[in-house]
């Protein structure tokens, strides 16, 4: 009879990442090793500090922070994944990151040169992207008259 805990055993065999100042997992690791601080002021092309910043945390539809971790320089290679240009153009950046990160994790494992048991393989995606509430808040900011 198998050990019940062995049925739950997992192995992390590949990793991928897109993070501030790290467009892949090795770059992220180097940031850790080098103790690099990857938080910075909001880039001008991200959003207008004048429009959205207020030092008062209670100010409605504003943020009291001017800093964050920003992913910059990411270019989605839609050709590599054989995604039609119109579909790629309609993809959210988070979706593009997910495809790219999953590909990096599979490559880190050794795929396609190493066999992959697709019956026992999964891709786990961790994200800090907002859900429904994020979109409602975003609409209040974009369309304050509503």
Q: What is the pLDDT of residue 85?
A: 94
Regions of the chain where pLDDT drops below 50: none
Q: Domain ranges in the chain?
A: 14-142
The tens digit of pLDDT for each residue in 44-84 reads 888 888 898 999 999 998 999 999 999 999 999 999 999 99
Question: Is residue 127 within 8 Å of 17, Cβ to Cβ?
Answer: no
Q: What is the pLDDT of residue 130?
A: 55
Instruction: Report the alpha-carbon angle 95-76-109, nearest 5.
Output: 75
Q: What is the pLDDT of residue 75?
A: 96
Q: What mean pLDDT, rounded, does the chain reach?
A: 87
- The model's pTM is 0.76
């Amino acid at each position: 009879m198998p050990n019940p805990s062995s049925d739950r055993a997992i192995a992390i065999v590949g990793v991928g990442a897109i993070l501030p100042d790290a467009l892949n997992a090795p770059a992220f690791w180097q940031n850790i090793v080098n103790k690099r601080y990857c938080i910075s002021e909001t880039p001008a092309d991200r959003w207008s500090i004048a429009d959205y910043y207020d030092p008062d945390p209670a100010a409605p539809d504003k943020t009291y922070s001017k800093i964050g971790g920003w992913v910059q320089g990411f270019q989605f290679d839609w050709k590599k994944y054989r995604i039609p240009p119109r579909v790629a153009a309609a993809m959210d950046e988070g979706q593009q990151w997910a495809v790219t990160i999953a590909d990096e994790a599979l490559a880190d494992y050794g795929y396609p040169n190493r066999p992959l048991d697709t019956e026992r393989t999964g891709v786990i995606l961790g994200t800090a992207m907002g859900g429904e509430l994020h979109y409602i808040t975003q609409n209040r900011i974009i369309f304050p008259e509503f």
